[in-house]
Amino acid sequence: MSKMINKNLILYIGILIFGIAAPFLFPAFKVQLSILCVLIVLATTWNIQGGEMGYNSFGNILFYGLGMYLCASVQVGMFFPLAEWTESGGEKTFVHTPAQFFQGMAVGLIVAAVVPTIVAGLIGYSILGLRGHYFAICTLGLGVAAGEISGGIEIIGAGQGFTTPPFPDVGSLDSRGEFFYFLSFFVLVLTFIAVRGIYSTRFKLILNAIRDNEDKAEAMGIETMKYKIVGWMISAFFCGLAGGIMGGLVGYIDSTDVAFDGREMGVFMVLMAILGGKGTLWGPIIGATVFHIFKEGFWTFFLGWQYVALGVLIVVIVIYFPEGIMGWLREKYPERFGEVVDEKDRKAQVELK
């Protein structure tokens, strides 16, 4: 056992060192690496209720978009009138000083994390009472409705979008990329520690009980609703944070194309978790990495056919690969996952095939 812990510790420290060194090793890919961190956060937190709890949500994009708008609005609204900012479009008469920018970003991120958590708690009781496909469609509706409605609100830019404050001039040109990379990497580490902590407690077992048979779990005396809401609130917290960072990184918020982008980010997070393997700790992380590399590596070759490729990819993954990479590995090397394998039985099965 202690050998196992040592091995894991070395692995974590290795990843941490690699994560810190990455922007200096690959200076050209800083933005891509930051996006990768955000994607991993989204996939991992989707997995909390999608994979562990069995509540397949299309609506986590709601918290992501909410966080994005809130972070940017707070960052602007703390120092300047928000309405004038959004009205002036791309040409800014107000400029954030570095101190203002970082203060705004810090407060904005806190708000972006806390408010979606509260929202998830408030709507959780009504929404999480729905089961199966009703829950999936309801959350899909929530995401799209949020996009459509925020596209009609004047103060956050309505249809013309919302430009987030540009990064202030603090010396070198690389500082913007580095700042956002380390911010998103920090959030990633935070998410990983939190999720790993959760998965080693009784809470995870309760979530799995809900996934496997909710009525039985309820009959055994577990207050399922309470745990479902807490699970969703944890997702919302990190989705909001990820959204806030992504808003600053992209620099421009549009209601349906960037913030509440159910057609892209909302599906990506589900797809990444399924590709890696639902209901595992490492699955969404591997899935997000593979997906991002595939997307960035090959996207440009499709020349406008990206969405066609995405549609085909969804269908193929869902139909032929629903267990994901981790599920496939588990089938191939069950010993590594702590499963006891009877060699005779295995040989007999191979012969049967």
Partner 1 sequence: MDFMVFQYPMISVQACLDGILLGILFALIAYGMALQWGVMNIINIAQGDLVILGGYIAYFMYLYGIHPAWGVIVSPIIMFFVGIAIYKLVINKVVDRDLFISILATFGISILFMQLMNFAFGADVVLANSDYGTTMLFNNNVVLPNSKIFSAFISILFAICLVIYMKKSKLGRAIRATAQNARAAKILGVDTEKVYAATFGINAALCGVAGALISITFTIHPYMGLPYTIRSFMIVIVAGLGNLPGVAMSGMGLGVFEEFADYILGTEFRIGSVFLLLVLILVYRRFKLSRKREYLK
Chain positions contacting partner 1, by CB under 8 A: 56, 126-127, 129-130, 132-134, 136-138, 140-142, 144-145, 147-149, 151-152, 159, 215, 218-219, 263, 267, 270, 274, 304-305, 307-308, 310-315, 318-319, 322
Within 10 A of 127 (CB to CB), how many other CB atoms are there? 20
Nearer to partner 1, 138 or 189 (CB): 138
DSSP string, 141-160: HHHHHHHHHHTT-TTTTGGG
- Nearest approach, Cβ of residue 207 and partner 1 (Å): 17
Q: Which residues contact 137 (CB under 8 A, 6 or more apart)?
A: none
Nearer to partner 1, 16 or 312 (CB): 312
- Nearest approach, Cβ of residue 50 and partner 1 (Å): 9
- Nearest approach, Cβ of residue 131 and partner 1 (Å): 9
The number of angstroms, rounded, from the C-alpha of 253 to the middle of its chain's C-alpha atoms is 18
- For residues 40 and 234, give the distance between their C-alpha atoms in angstroms, rounded to a whole number: 15
Nearer to partner 1, 226 or 347 (CB): 226
Nearer to partner 1, 59 or 248 (CB): 59
Nearer to partner 1, 196 or 216 (CB): 216
Paired with 252 in beta bridges are 163
- Nearest approach, Cβ of residue 241 and partner 1 (Å): 25
DSSP alpha helix (H) spans, the chain: 2-25, 30-47, 60-77, 82-87, 98-127, 132-150, 175-199, 202-212, 214-219, 224-250, 265-276, 283-302, 306-320, 324-332, 343-352
Closest CA to 325 of 268, 287, 294: 287
- Nearest approach, Cβ of residue 319 and partner 1 (Å): 5
- Nearest approach, Cβ of residue 185 and partner 1 (Å): 30
Nearer to partner 1, 192 or 214 (CB): 214
Q: Are 52 and 279 in contact (CB under 8 A)?
A: yes
Sign of the Cα pseudo-torsion (160, 162, 165, 166, in order): negative
